[in-house]
Amino acid sequence: MYQTIILGSILLITLYVLKRSRDPNLKLPPLVHYKIPIIGHTLSYMFNCEEFFKQCRKEYGDIFSLYLWGQVTTFVGKDHSYEVFARDDAFDFSEEFRRRVPGDAMFKNINGFGDPKYNAKVVREYISNKLGLYTERMQKSLYSATKKYIGDCDDDRTIYNFSYLMAKIISTPIANIFIGEEEAKYDEIITTFAEFTTDVAIFFAIPPILDFIFPGLQDYVNRIPIKLGLYNPATKHRDILVKHIKNQVDKRLREKQEYGDSWKRPNDLLQDFMEEQDFDPNNINYAAMADKLCIFIFASVHTTSRSCANAVMDLASRPEYMQELYEEQLEIHKKANENDILPFEALNEMKKLDSFIRESFRLTGDIAALPHLVLKDYTFSNGLQVQKDHVVDIYFNDVYQDESSQGPNPNLFEPFRHLNKNSSASKVSKNFIVFGGGKHACPGRFFAVNEIKFFMHNAILKYNFRTESGKIENKLRLGPITFPSTSGIIFERRFK
């Protein structure tokens, strides 16, 4: 028994030393000093991330490395973060994402999360280029969902964990535009859109403890129950989507043949998929179509609903800005038609609301995000180097807490900080990286911002809302990432 313990200890130490080996021929970023072998910086990273990163930045500079979950990760701050976004030949977010989420095991019908270039093309051509076409449907869906999930609030209503309802509200127009108006009326479709990302994100929630033994072991173990058919968080959602996709596809093919030239083409993502060159009406793979749709649900619903829930809580925490935003929305709403639908161009007039939303994005509170895989040895402009297959993460807070790029008091929420600066909520720059940067910046950001603005416009006109505590509510934190506060928000009907 003692021999087994000794041999096991030697093996762990050997693996630890091997994992720490670094290419001596490269000028690598400084590795922050740590005291606990194997564990490294993991505890500070998970439980004291903000202050820990500030100290690392102060002592080691703009680029530094941490020993986390059994391997070294490099963090890049404000001075060099845009190199990561601009040099797509050296850094790839999609590749690192695929290593963290077992999409190839969950979505075998389409080989994982699909081709990143194709996915970006779909968002640009089928969604972003048709924003004007979808404006009315987006508003109608948002208004009906708001009424359904928040209500009229004739009597004050306190809502806890607002982000859960926000996911349902945001999912309603997205389902309408993705799978069609008829299928978006079903509660199970809205539930699938709202809960899919959360269910799949269990793989992010599981701490990679096994990586302390050997890098990648946790990912290998995560795949076992999926490959054995014991558990796949995507299965129940795929089954629901297959049922509704089949219903629509069969109906459309039948009606197109029946009505010929008089057939009215549906405008939605599903129809766009049906008109692609590789779609065979005589051999339809409904599961593959469902898996393809899952990719875009994953990319759209959670990020948008999280951001919108944060914006609502940020305004509820600061009711002193409500009247100014209300007056702007009231003036803009004069351009609405008899059904309270605004023209697409009205979005550009929501100047104060747009600035508020951008500030909410800026202070989301994520310390570090958007990890990229290094595709080849790379030398930063300051001479520091990272080696191929290494992971580089972006130190968000270093960008957003920089006074020279953000303006005075960058740590304070100033909702009209971005007015008259040609800095819309969807515009990426070196000092605004919530959507990434470079040519791979999120192509769906225009759709997301429009949806948030339409929701906020309606909510501000319809309700007064404030935090139950009467105080500014802080976000929940898990390591470097934040989540919307679950504290109560009081909604009351606004009487005109």
Query: Which carries the bigger pLDDT value, residue 219 or residue 269?
Result: 269
pLDDT tens for residues 211-268?
Answer: 888 888 988 898 899 888 888 999 999 999 999 999 999 999 999 999 999 999 999 9
As a 3-state breakdown, the chain gives helix, strand, coil percent values, each rounded to 5, of 55, 10, 35
For residue 413, which phi and psi values (nearest 5 degrees)? -80, 110
Mean pLDDT (whole number) for 122-140: 95
Is the per-residue pLDDT at 469 higher than 70?
Answer: yes
Q: Give the pLDDT score at 24.
A: 60
Q: Give the pLDDT score at 9.
A: 47
- Residue 399 CA to residue 416 CA, distance in Å, equals 19
Mean pLDDT (whole number) for 402-406: 94
pLDDT tens for residues 158-199?
Answer: 999 999 999 999 999 999 999 999 999 999 999 999 999 999
Q: Give the pLDDT score at 303.
A: 95
Residue 442 is labelled as binding a ligand? yes
- Residue 179 CA to residue 109 CA, distance in Å, equals 19
Q: Give the pLDDT score at 477.
A: 95
What total number of domains does the chain contain?
Answer: 1
Contact 369, 400 (CB under 8 A): no
pLDDT tens for residues 37-73?
Answer: 999 999 999 999 999 999 999 999 999 999 999 999 9
Q: Give the pLDDT score at 496.
A: 63
Q: Which of 167, 161, 243, 162 is nearest to 198 (CA)?
A: 167
Is the per-residue pLDDT at 8 higher than 60?
Answer: no
Angle at 446 between CA 443 and CA 451, to 5 degrees: 130
Q: Give the pLDDT score at 14.
A: 46
Is the per-residue pLDDT at 17 higher than 70?
Answer: no
pLDDT tens for residues 336-384?
Answer: 999 999 999 999 999 999 999 999 999 999 999 999 999 999 999 999 9
Task: Name the residue type at position 382.
Answer: N
What whole-number percentage of the chain has pLDDT above 90?
Answer: 82
pTM to 2 decimal places: 0.93
pLDDT tens for residues 472-490?
Answer: 999 999 999 999 999 999 9
pLDDT tens for residues 61-118?
Answer: 999 999 999 999 999 999 999 999 999 999 999 989 888 888 888 887 777 787 888 9
Run of H or E residues at 217? helix 217-227
Is the per-residue pLDDT at 11 higher than 70?
Answer: no
Mean pLDDT (whole number) for 411-428: 95
Q: Give the pLDDT score at 358.
A: 98
Count Cβ atoms below 10 Å from residue 449 Cβ, excluding itself: 22
Contact 467, 473 (CB under 8 A): yes
Q: Give the pLDDT score at 227.
A: 87
Q: Give the pLDDT score at 107.
A: 85
Q: Give the pLDDT score at 23.
A: 56
Mean pLDDT (whole number) for 12-21: 47
- Residue 449 CA to residue 124 CA, distance in Å, equals 15
Mean of pLDDT over the chain:
92
Helix (H, G, I), strand (E, B), or coil: what is residue 88?
A: coil
- By residue count, the chain amounts to 496
**Tokens (6 digits) for 14:** 């050997």
- Residue 458 CA to residue 460 CA, distance in Å, equals 6
CATH assignment at residue 369: 1.10.630.10
Is the per-residue pLDDT at 3 higher than 90?
Answer: no
Is the per-residue pLDDT at 28 higher than 60?
Answer: yes
Containing domain of residue 299, as a range?
1-493
pLDDT tens for residues 296-324?
Answer: 999 999 999 999 999 999 999 999 999 99
Q: Give the pLDDT score at 91.
A: 97
Q: Give the pLDDT score at 219.
A: 87
Q: Give the pLDDT score at 208.
A: 87
